[in-house]
Amino acid sequence: MDGPAAPLRCRLLLAAACCVAAAGTAAGAKVLPPPSNLDYSFIQMCTLNWTWNPPENVSSSCDLEYSSDIVIDEVPQDKREWSKSRFRVTHTYLNEEMRFKVRSECKYDNTSEPSRWVETALLPKGIPGTAAVGLNCVWHNLEYMACMWRPGENASRDTNYTLFYWFDGLENQEKCNNYSVEQGNFECVFKLSFPKLTNTYPAISILIRDDSEDIRPMCASKNPTTLVKPATPRRVTLSKINDDIHVEWSHSDTFPENCLFYEVKYHNGDLDTTPIIKVENNYTSIPSIDPNSKYIFKVRAKPKPECYSSELYSDWSEEKSIGEKMDSTFYFVLIITIPLIVAVSTIILLVYLKRLKILILPPIPDPREILKLMFGDQNEDSQGCAKDDSVNTYDRLIKEEEIHSLVLTETPECTNSEKEN
């Protein structure tokens, strides 16, 4: 039991001794005094310069430097920096509470401890929830930048936001004047260009505010290389060379040479298989094509990562086609349409020929029918007249009988009178 446990006991004792030694060293370490007079000032609209004074009574053997960090709304930003300078330039967040803290440290010195943190805060102004939100900017073809944002949830409908921008190289901040509002979303477009030969682009500070003090201003810092979107490739041309299709399009003049690559998508009517070819030039050839098929092409561009950090593609170009093949739908319509046209044409032709025959060769009337019609009418008339005569004769007989009856009735009266006379 004691044999195997002896090495373990020794290791535990050694660890305890090391801990005691370390505790003694820490207990004897000197804590540095903190910096003093921490303050800030605005260099530009969204740029702050934090300054402080060095600590007092620091040993000359101390390689003094300062550690600084930023906290936004009680959330550390993990932007700690170490520097021997007694200032730090940072971007500011005007719509949120920003705290800056700094402390003293002796580099490569185990006999001293860093000082405590010294802090100061920049508090926001205006009503919470009124600052612009959802800022999104795109640098189109290295020519102009378009920024879009939404109004704050507590902002009134008549809030008139104004966008200002500045970057290192401008003497003063610039105001964006090309505004548009669509469905409550704001957009402003301004020209932005740098020399083509530059390899570095300064960060762009953007300030969106209102003239009213109730509206909180909002500041944002944008890296323009992450916002680059090339223009849509233009003038796409197709041509056949032997069994290959040669595709070519225009190259953007605003980008430096070899800073764009392209994607070519094509298909021959089968949308399930649409190959994409990546090329670095503004032309390519598609080999081994079916000469009896119709091919459709479109192109888009994307910045190279060695030039820009953007992940934005251009829009697809207009589709261009080459070939004569027609799809199955056309054939189906053709098969249905042709017999229908033939049938309708035949019916029309038959009706037209029948009418034409009647006009050229009219039917000869039958004499018997004519005579029958003529004499048949006369017989009917004579029979009608005979009937009328018989009816009239009958009527006359009835009237005569009535007259005779009256005469017979009156005759006896006349005889009696005569006898009396």
pLDDT tens track of the chain, all 421 residues?
Answer: 344 333 334 343 334 433 333 333 344 568 899 999 999 999 888 899 999 999 988 888 888 999 999 999 888 888 899 999 999 999 888 888 999 999 999 887 777 889 999 999 999 899 999 999 999 999 999 999 999 999 999 998 889 999 999 998 888 899 999 999 988 899 999 999 887 767 788 999 999 999 888 999 999 999 999 999 999 999 999 888 877 889 999 888 889 888 999 999 988 766 667 788 999 998 898 886 776 778 889 999 999 999 999 999 999 999 888 876 555 566 567 778 888 888 888 888 777 776 666 666 666 666 777 667 766 655 555 555 444 555 455 555 555 554 444 443 444 444 444 444 3
- b vs e for 42-79, b when ≥16 Cβ sit within 10 Å of the residue's Cβ? eebbbbbebebeebeebeeebebebbbbbbeeeeeeee
Q: Are 40 and 89 in contact (CB under 8 A)?
A: no
**The token pair that represents 17 in the structure block:** 């001794």
Centroid of chain to Cα 102 = 45
pLDDT of res. 219: 93
Q: How far apart are CA 171 and CA 98, in angstroms?
A: 26
Residues 6+ apart with CB under 8 A from 223: 201, 203, 204, 309
Give the pairing type, strands 260-267 and 276-279: antiparallel
Q: Give every CB contact of residue 68 below 8 A, 6+ residues apart in sequence.
A: 50, 80, 81, 83, 88, 100, 101, 102, 103
**Measured between alpha carbons, how far is 288 from 321 in angstroms, rounded to an integer?**
17
Is residue 232 within 8 Å of 315, Cβ to Cβ? yes
Query: What was the pLDDT predicted at 5?
Result: 39
Helix (H, G, I), strand (E, B) or coil at 33: coil
Give residue 9's pLDDT. 41
Q: Name, in order, each residue with C-beta under 8 angstroms of 11's C-beta and a sequence gap of 6 or more.
A: none
The angle at the Cα of 394, spanning 388 to 399, to the nearest 5 degrees, equals 125
> Which residues share a beta bridge with 90?
48
Q: Which two tokens stand for residue 6?
A: 């002896």
pLDDT at residue number 414: 41
Run of H or E residues at 202: none
> Interior CA angle at 24 toward 19 and 28, to 5°?
145
Residue 279 CA to residue 59 CA, distance in Å, equals 62
pLDDT of residue 410: 43
State how far the Cα of 128 lies from the Cα of 216, in Å rounded to an integer. 7
Task: Identify the DSSP state of 127.
Answer: B
Give the tokens for residue 141. Answer: 């073809």
